[in-house]
Amino acid sequence: MGKYKVLESTVTSSIIRYIERQERSHAVKIISSAKSRNNPDIFAVVEGTPIVIESKREKDGSYGITIGQGYELLRWDRAGAIILVAPTLRDVQTVVERIKKTKPLT
């Protein structure tokens, strides 16, 4: 009997809901098309810090991204955003908590 696997869309939705519940935060799902298929799944800002998130589900023991997705994440990184490949909500929670510790509300 195989291990239950959570759908990527379920993880993406839970990440957006979590970020939206935080103070001074907003998150949106990026809708991809053929021309923008390498865009990350989520764009968010938490207390003034931009985060781009590629939500990935485990497949064959890895959470791999495509070369195009990696290139797009690198562009966001160079622009100053935090980039994150997140297979679980917990990964995002860890990053958000670190942001909150370094950027207290004023």
Question: pLDDT (tens digit, 9 = 90+) per residue, 23-35?
Answer: 999 999 998 777 7
Query: Residue 1: is its pLDDT beyond 60?
Result: no
Neighbours of 33 (CB within 10 A): 7
- Residue 66 backbone dihedrals phi, psi, to 5 degrees: -80, 165
Q: What is the pLDDT of residues 66-99, one digit of tens each?
A: 899 999 999 999 999 999 999 899 999 999 999 9
Chain centroid, CA 15 distance in Å:
7
Sketch out the chain's domains with CATH numbers: 8-102 (3.40.1350.10)
The 3-state secondary structure of 28-66 reads EECCCCHHHCCCCCEEEEECCEEEEEEECCCECCECCCC
Q: Match 């003034």 to its residue by tokens.
A: 48
Query: Residue 103: is its pLDDT beyond 80?
Result: no
Angle, CA of 68, 99 and 45, to the nearest 5°: 55
How far apart are the C-alpha atoms of 23 and 33, rounded to whole Å? 31
